[in-house]
């Protein structure tokens, strides 16, 4: 484990467990014990309870920490670890740092949590620099918000997206996804799903087809692709990236994601395309993830 991961682990381990959290964990233990009287399971839950020590941020309430629990009897998977805030007249910041807990692979868990913490720390530091520059120039308006959403959380897949909204007059929105194989405890990349790079053209062609269908069905939908009415657009979507932003939804479908302004005007926001599995069947490595 590298020095930075060790430092983060030590920071986490200094955080005590509040009485309220002990109560919730003990209730969960008792409920599960009645259902499954297994010493092996109890050992697993004990390890899960210890994960709270290194992941709960004491600057937020216990209620906030549990905002992403899918059910009362389940162990926490994703929650708020830290929050950076500023509310100073024309300057606003609200950055919520997610954390993942209860992975057996602690190196992966710490690595992801370090990444999420550093992403938001860097955003906040850059925001403070911009605020100071605006103040010295006579003032202005500046805002930044970040948070997360869990798109999939089942026995096999955890897909978590971290979004950032920058506001300077108008706003821009970006989102990044991590799709995690819970059983093998690895982060899934897009190329891992396919036999070779044919998937790039196959997915791109299907997305263009969906774009045209959406525009034909609703004129308010606008994408930057060539059409009969506009054969040479100023900006044009051609192909997805090799490591295009994506996640796997609860139905086992591949969802390709584009940030605001990537492939459409700003009012379209972040756009997603669910790729039919039969389109991908010839190039998939297996049906383990995509069904």
Domain presence at residue 184? yes
Closest CA to 117 of 166, 57, 69: 57
Asked if residue 285 belongs to a domain, the reply is no
pLDDT of res. 246? 98
pLDDT band at 170 (very low <50, low <70, confident <90, very high): confident
The verdict on residue 287 lying in a domain is no
Tell me: do 164 and 78 sit in the same domain. Answer: yes
Beta carbons of 176 and 187 less than 8 angstroms apart: no
Give the pLDDT confidence score for residue 7 in this predicted structure: 61
What is the token pair recorded at 82?
A: 């830290």
**Domain assignment present for 288:** no
pLDDT of residue 227: 86
Mean pLDDT for all residues in the chain: 81
Domain boundary among 161, 188, 215: 188
Same domain, 180 and 207: no
Which CATH number do you get for residue 65?
3.30.565.40
277 pLDDT above the threshold of 90: yes
Residue at a domain's end among 165, 188, 211? 188
Domain encompassing residue 158: 3-188
Do residues 215 and 128 both lie within one domain? no
Q: For residue 209, what is the enclosing H or E element?
A: helix 198-217
Whether 290 is covered by a domain: the verdict is no
pLDDT of residue 30: 47
Average pLDDT over residues 42-61: 37
Neighbours of 234 (CB within 10 A): 6
Residue 266, domain CATH = 3.90.640.20
| Inter-residue contact 246 to 290 (CB < 8 Å) | no
- Confidence tier at 123 by pLDDT (50, 70, 90): very high
Instruction: Give Cβ neighbours of residue 250 (< 8 Å, ≥ 6 apart).
Output: 151, 152, 154, 157
The reported pLDDT for the residue numbered 175 is 97
Give me the mean pLDDT over the 175-199 stretch: 96
Answer yes or no: is 289 within a domain.
no
Instruction: Classify the phi-psi angles of 16: left when phi > 0, otherwise alpha if psi is within -120 to 50, otherwise beta.
Output: beta
Separation CA 243–CA 284 (nearest Å): 16
Where is pLDDT greater, at 230 or 177? 177
Residue 60: predicted pLDDT: 35
pLDDT at 22: 44
Q: 106-136 and 3-13 helices cross at what angle (nearest 10)?
A: 90
In the sheet that holds 246-248, the strands lie side by side as 246-248, 254-258, 271-275
Parallel, antiparallel or unpaired: strands 254-258 and 271-275: antiparallel
DSSP annotation string for 109-153: HHHHHHHHHHHHHHHHHHHHHHHHHHHHTT---EEEEEEEEEEEE
13 and 119 belong to one structural domain: yes
Q: How many Cα atoms within 13 Å fall on the side-chain side of residue 112?
A: 28
Identify the band that residue 6 occupies on the pLDDT scale cut at 50, 70 and 90: low
Where is the domain boundary, 188, 206, 226? 188
Strand 246-248 versus strand 254-258 pairing type: antiparallel
Radius of gyration of the chain (CA): 22
Cα gap 57→28, rounded to integer Å = 20
3-class secondary-structure state, position 20: helix
How far is Cα 263 from Cα 135, in angstroms, rounded to an integer?
Answer: 34
Assigned domain for 75 exists:
yes
Q: How confident is the model at residue 26 (pLDDT cuts 50, 70, 90)?
A: very low
* Number of domains comprising the chain: 2
Q: Do 56 and 66 meet the contact criterion of CB atoms below 8 Å apart?
A: no
- Note the pLDDT tens digit of each residue in 128-165: 999 999 999 999 999 999 999 999 999 899 999 999 99
> Phi and psi at residue 180, in whole multiples of 5°?
-115, 130
Per-residue pLDDT tens digits for 64-103: 444 444 443 345 379 999 999 999 989 999 999 999 998 8
User: Given pLDDT bands bounded at 50, 70 and 90, which one contains residue 232?
Assistant: confident
């Amino acid at each position: 484990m590298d020095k930075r991961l060790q430092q983060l682990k030590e920071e986490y381990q200094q955080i005590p467990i509040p009485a309220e959290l002990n109560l919730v964990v003990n209730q969960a233990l008792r409920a599960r014990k009645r259902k499954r009287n297994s010493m092996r399971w109890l050992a697993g839950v004990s390890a899960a309870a210890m994960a709270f020590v290194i992941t709960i941020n004491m600057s937020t309430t216990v209620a906030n920490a549990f905002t992403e629990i899918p059910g009362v009897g389940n162990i926490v998977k994703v929650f708020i670890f830290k929050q950076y805030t500023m509310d100073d007249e024309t300057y606003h910041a609200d950055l919520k740092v997610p954390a993942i807990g209860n992975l057996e692979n602690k190196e992966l868990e710490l690595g992801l949590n370090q990444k999420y913490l550093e992403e938001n720390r860097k955003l906040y530091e850059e925001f403070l620099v911009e605020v100071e520059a605006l103040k010295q120039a006579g003032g202005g308006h500046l805002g930044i918000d970040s948070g997360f959403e869990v798109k999939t959380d089942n026995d096999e897949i955890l897909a978590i997206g971290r979004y950032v909204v920058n506001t300077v007059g108008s706003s821009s929105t970006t989102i990044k996804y991590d799709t995690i194989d819970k059983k093998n405890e690895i982060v899934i990349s897009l190329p891992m799903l396919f036999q070779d790079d044919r998937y790039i053209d196959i997915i791109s062609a299907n997305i263009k087809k969906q774009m045209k269908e959406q525009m034909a069905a609703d004129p308010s939908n606008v994408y930057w692709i060539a059409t009969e009415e506009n054969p040479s657009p100023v900006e044009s979507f051609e192909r997805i990236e090799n490591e295009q932003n994506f996640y796997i939804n609860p139905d086992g479908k591949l969802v390709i994601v584009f940030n605001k302004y990537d492939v459409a005007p700003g009012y379209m926001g972040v756009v997603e395309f669910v790729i039919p599995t039969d389109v991908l069947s010839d190039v998939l490595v297996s049906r383990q993830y995509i069904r």
